[in-house]
């Protein structure tokens, strides 16, 4: 008796899956058009973080909004989402630069749109694995060439957002092992740490989500790709987080896993990570980060309730004197301090309440997602400031399919 082939999904669903696939596939891409109005300069230096940018992924997100307008608007119509957007709008109205904050407000709305679509829509898990794997394979090819050649590759990768750099480019991220200097690979990202954080989040989303269990080979290929990118990034924060969360996961899932396989996997991961952790980077990194942290606390003390305005942290920081040339044009390397300085305790407290309620209803997948973001976010800012990481968080948190406290209006 021949098996009947499953019915083909209706055209509307195939089109929706295609759009979601394209967005996930192009999430690592940094291709965009930057605009540099007068407010994007600090002391005559052009600052990318202050420049409004239209990315390829922004265009895809807009198409998702148009094709899923009913889903998105029903999500935005809930009282809790309306309150969140209202609080952020208040911080925009009180901002020291309303144009910058208005752009950031649009980015918050974009994040919520993507979250809503992946939360409400069922996206084929196999397609998601293929899309993530396609992007990861491209990044591995590019990152390895950058690492070997000690410079950017350009060519077709320029159109994916790869920036031009060499080993001698001022401020480029380097690592030194046994006196030998290496270029830390960037891929199509703004920094190796951003690359590492991006694939760290994908790794734990794929590892812990039950939806990918039927696709053993695809799942494990993507986990391998993600692990490789984390290790060759030389990002100590991402590697240490990777080791901590993997250890926790394996301990809590000991009974479900082949013990010999577990020992082998942990041993290989630990040995590779320890080799990479021996590398030395910027010797002044702790002093630089501490200076940014102390200044962030000063800003919070001066503007505790509503902050200085979304996206305007660098304008406030520029009023302080720095010992480090140009590094001062970077946000504080802590997403919690960065959020509080820009949005104040009012918005910060509101978000904290929602996170606490959410964690009380968590599934293991979302817990590991939160931990991956929180632990790396203690030492960097890319979850709030860089397009790829910012939108990936929306996709992963939405696709985790947990019942959040945003569903019903009270």
What is the Cα–Cα distance from 206 to 204, expressed in whole angstroms? Answer: 5
5 found inside a domain: no
Q: Angle formed by the axes of helices 125-149 and 216-232, to 10°?
A: 30
What would the pLDDT profile of 104-113 be if each residue is shown by its tens digit? 999 999 999 9
Q: What average pLDDT does range 401-407 have in this prediction? A: 49
12 found inside a domain: no
What would the pLDDT profile of 8-63 be if each residue is shown by its tens digit? 444 446 777 889 999 999 999 999 999 999 999 988 888 899 999 999 999 999 99
Give the residue among 391, 309, 389, 335 at the shortest CA–CA distance from 100. Answer: 309
406 found inside a domain: no
DSSP of 182-245: EEPP-TTSSSHHHHHHHHHHHHHHHHH-GGGTT-HHHHHHHHHHHHHHHHHTT-HHHHHHHHHH
Q: What average pLDDT does range 176-198 have in this prediction? A: 91
Q: What average pLDDT does range 336-363 have in this prediction? A: 78
H-helix segments, 121-174: 125-149
33 found inside a domain: yes
What would the pLDDT profile of 246-292 be if each residue is shown by its tens digit? 888 887 877 666 666 666 666 666 666 666 666 666 666 778 888 88
Position 269 scores a pLDDT of: 66
4 found inside a domain: no
Domain tally, the chain: 1
Q: If you average pLDDT over every residue of the chain, what do you get?
A: 86
Other beta carbons within 10 angstroms of residue 229's beta carbon come to: 27
Give the residue among 272, 389, 248, 258 at the shortest CA–CA distance from 331. Answer: 389
253 found inside a domain: yes
Q: How confident is the model at residue 1 (pLDDT cuts 50, 70, 90)?
A: very low
147 found inside a domain: yes
Contact 31, 387 (CB under 8 A): no
Please tell me the least confidently modeled range out of 141-145, 213-217, 241-245, 347-351. Answer: 347-351
The total number of residues shown for the chain amounts to: 410
7 found inside a domain: no
The residue segments making up the domain with residue 177 are 17-399
pTM metric for this prediction: 0.91
Burial call 129-167: b when 16+ CB within 10 Å, e when fewer: bbbbbbbbebbbebbbebbeebbbbeeebeebbbeebee
């Amino acid at each position: 008796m021949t098996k009947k082939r499953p019915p083909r999904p209706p055209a509307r669903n195939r089109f929706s899956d295609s759009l979601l696939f394209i967005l996930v596939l192009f999430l690592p891409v940094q291709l965009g058009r930057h605009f540099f109005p007068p407010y994007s300069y600090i002391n005559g230096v052009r600052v990318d973080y202050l420049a409004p940018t239209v990315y390829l992924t922004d265009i895809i997100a807009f198409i998702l909004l148009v094709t899923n307008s009913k889903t998105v608007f029903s999500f935005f119509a809930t009282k809790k989402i309306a309150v969140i957007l209202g609080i952020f709008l208040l911080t925009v109205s009180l901002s020291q630069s309303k144009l910058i904050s208005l752009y950031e407000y649009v980015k918050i709305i974009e994040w919520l749109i993507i979250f809503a679509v992946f939360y409400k829509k069922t996206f084929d898990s196999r397609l998601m694995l293929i899309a993530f794997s396609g992007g990861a394979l491209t990044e591995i090819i590019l990152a390895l060439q950058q690492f070997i050649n000690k410079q950017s590759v350009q060519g077709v990768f320029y159109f994916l957002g790869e920036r031009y750099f060499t080993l001698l480019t001022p401020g480029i991220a380097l690592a030194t092992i046994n006196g030998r200097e290496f270029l830390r690979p960037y891929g199509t990202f703004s920094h190796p740490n951003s690359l590492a954080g991006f694939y760290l989040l994908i790794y734990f989303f794929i590892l812990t989500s039950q939806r990918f269990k039927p696709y053993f080979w695809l799942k494990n290929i993507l986990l391998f790709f993600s692990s490789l990118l984390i290790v060759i990034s030389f990002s100590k924060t991402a590697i240490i987080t990777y080791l901590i969360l993997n250890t926790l996961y394996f301990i809590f899932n000991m009974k479900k896993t082949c013990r010999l396989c577990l020992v082998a996997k942990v041993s290989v991961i630990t040995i590779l990570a320890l080799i990479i952790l021996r590398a030395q980077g910027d010797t002044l990194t702790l002093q630089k980060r501490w200076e940014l942290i102390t200044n962030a606390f000063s800003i919070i003390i001066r503007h505790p309730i509503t902050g200085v305005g979304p996206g305007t942290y660098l304008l406030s920081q520029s009023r302080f004197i720095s010992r480090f040339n140009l590094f001062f044009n970077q946000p504080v390397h802590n997403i919690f301090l960065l959020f509080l300085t820009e949005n104040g305790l009012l918005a910060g407290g509101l978000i904290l309440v929602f996170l606490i309620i959410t964690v009380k209803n968590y599934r293991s997948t979302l817990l590991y997602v939160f931990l991956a973001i929180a632990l790396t976010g203690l030492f960097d800012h890319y979850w709030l400031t860089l397009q790829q990481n910012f939108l990936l968080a929306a996709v992963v948190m939405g696709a985790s399919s947990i019942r959040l406290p945003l569903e019903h209006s009270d």
